[in-house]
Chains A and B, each alone.
Chain A
């Protein structure tokens, strides 16, 4: 079964750093793009960026460029989303999802990682 399993919920203070993960199984992890999507509380879906684990080719939404870093380690079938200095406005659910190609839909999705940033 193709699936993505994300790391657990995080509670952080403003200014702290964070790295969350997304581990793939049931398929050749290095051969498919991974997308990251933000969903703020009670809001819709926002595409953040994508990475191709095979060569770490990464593309960011302009809205998130410089705000987060997307990376991958194909040796452990994992992709990552990280912040160097969290803000309260980063409080959201973050999903990873598989893309079969650059111009492709997102399926399946991970279960999501809830990040709460509060002083």
Chain B
């Protein structure tokens, strides 16, 4: 199984400041024949299902604010929130869909400082 490890487990950032969440996979999720990283990011607010933010590691889903961005390749990935807003308080998960069993990171809880 591909193990996804996020850091940190929790994060407190001031409004308007940058938040950075890291995700490391135990093996590559870059598929050589497509040159795509099979990595997505989701946001889950309390009492709600997860919401897709980013796929192919860096492609923003339609309607997602441009303060959210994804980067990285191979085994190391980052989700960056450029200027934290109050509505960004949530738990964020990375997810590899490179191979079954599909796996998620343990989640990073983002709060306002």
Interface residues, chain A, with chain B CB atoms under 8 Å away: 35, 44-47, 59, 61-63, 95, 97, 99, 103-112
Knowing A44-B106, A45-B93, A105-B55 touch, does A63 contact B49 (C-beta < 8 A)? Answer: no
Knowing A44-B93, A45-B93 touch, does A106 contact B101 (C-beta < 8 A)? Answer: no
Interface residues, chain B, with chain A CB atoms under 8 Å away: 31, 38, 40, 42, 49-52, 55, 61, 93, 95, 97-107
CB-defined contacts of B100 to chain A, threshold 8 Å: 47, 59, 61
Pairwise interchain contact B50-A95, C-beta atoms closer than 8 A: yes
Docked pose: A54 CA to B52 CA in angstroms: 25
B104: nearest residue on chain A (CB-CB)? Answer: A45
Pairwise interchain contact B98-A108, C-beta atoms closer than 8 A: no
Q: Which of these, A44, A45, A61, A104, contacts B101 with CB under 8 Å?
A: A61
A58 to chain B, nearest CB (A): 12
CB-defined contacts of A105 to chain B, threshold 8 Å: 40, 52, 55, 95, 97
